[in-house]
Amino acid sequence: MRILLLLLVSFFVVDKAQGVASLPDSIATDTSKFTTPTDNHHCYRYIFMQSGISLPAKTLYYHNFNFLMNDFQYGITNNLNISAGVVLPLYFYASPKYSVDVENNQRLMIGDIAITSMFLKDPHKAKMNILYAGYSFGDDFDHFTVCMGYFTANFTPDASLMYNIGGSKKLTPTVYLIGELWFNTGSQKIANVSQWVLDENGNKILEDPSNPLASPYKTTSINKVVNRTTLFANLQLRLISNKNDTKSWSFGLAYYSNFGGEYDRQNSDGTAEHLTNYFSFPVPSISFTQKIGKVEPKLRF
């Protein structure tokens, strides 16, 4: 994990790697079919995170992550973009973003990410929102973006701050190193934690006081609120097609971790367990992207 985070932060300042081989779409030996890309048509986003570089007006961009997330990004104007997609099988999200150039290779942006579950009903329906602002530095090939957001959700006891950093580093005309990190601290509700029922003196109460040797203790279920830190990191190599540089495949590693809160679960047999909300899940990550191009919907009112 430390290696993953170190790579994510440090690759912004590493000199361009030499001798990295570009990968053609096929094993054909007729290299006349291939051209060297001179533009980066994939500078508008990292993996989940959008960069400060705005998708041009009336341009459509498609992104798929691990075959489960399908996302479309559209340039309403040269400064205003909107993304929307589904994370199978449950979630839908929409994310408008407004960015503006403030200096050479410097951009400011503000946006929102709204997420909801599609088929579940209250109280099981999940609702999340991140209102964020950020700064992006760099050209279309080498750039990084930092953001801070205000995170709210119907399953967390309170609002909290979300921190994001992402970047892109050109290694060859067809190979890029891309990555992002999301970091959030706050509180987490642990539902149905078993606790002993105590008398006024703080002693455990037996379910059957007439049989103290065999009787279990009375317990009840409560909701515990504990501290929480959530981290999500993703690092990939993006391989751009030689035959069509508007397409790319990316391969890497995603890492999700939830940690920071401890609590006790008290059992009817008189024992207690000291537990934590720690959860860790590394997974291979695969992305496909395509800049579809100009799309001008004809709307009739």
Q: Is the pLDDT of residue 116 over 60?
A: yes
Sorted by where each begins, the domain ranges of the chain are 2-8+39-294
The helix (H) or strand (E) run that includes residue 9 is: helix 2-10
User: What are the pLDDT digits (tens) for 195-239?
Assistant: 999 999 999 999 999 998 999 999 999 999 999 999 999 999 999
**Residue 119: its pLDDT value, please?**
83
**Residue 8: its pLDDT value, please?**
41
**Residue 251: its pLDDT value, please?**
98
Angstrom distance (rounded) from CA 136 to CA 46:
12
Angstrom distance (rounded) from CA 237 to CA 265:
44
The SS3 of residue 59 is: strand
Average pLDDT (168-187) is: 97
pLDDT bin (cut points 50, 70, 90) of residue 64 is: very high
Average pLDDT (14-36) is: 43
Specify the range with the lowest mean pLDDT, choosing from 26-40, 74-88, 177-191, 273-287.
Answer: 26-40
**Residue 34: its pLDDT value, please?**
58
Average pLDDT (8-29) is: 38
Average pLDDT (118-139) is: 90
Average pLDDT (98-122) is: 93
How much of the chain, in percent, has pLDDT values that exceed 90?
77
Question: Hey, how many other C-beta atoms are within 10 angstroms of the C-beta on 46?
Answer: 28
CB-based contact 42:240 (threshold 8 Å): yes
pLDDT bin (cut points 50, 70, 90) of residue 31 is: very low
**Residue 33: its pLDDT value, please?**
54
**Residue 299: its pLDDT value, please?**
57
Superfamily of domain 2-8+39-294: monomeric porin ompg (2.40.160.40)
DSSP per-residue string spanning 228-296: EEEEEEEEEEEEE-SS-TTEEEEEEEEEEEEE--EEEEE-TTS-EEEEE--EEEEEEEEEEEEEEEE--
User: What are the pLDDT digits (tens) for 272-301?
Assistant: 999 999 999 999 999 999 999 988 776 564
Angstrom distance (rounded) from CA 181 to CA 43:
17
Q: Which residues contact 155 (CB under 8 A, 6 or more apart)?
A: 126, 189
Average pLDDT (108-134) is: 91
Q: Is the pLDDT of residue 173 over 50?
A: yes
Polymer length in residues for the chain = 301
**Residue 239: its pLDDT value, please?**
97
147 or 299: whose pLDDT is higher?
147
pLDDT bin (cut points 50, 70, 90) of residue 6 is: very low
Average pLDDT (43-62) is: 95
10 or 174: whose pLDDT is higher?
174
- Whether the full predicted model's pTM is greater than 0.85, yes or no, is no
7 or 152: whose pLDDT is higher?
152
CA distances from 39 to 98, 179, 273 (A): 23, 20, 57
**Residue 300: its pLDDT value, please?**
62
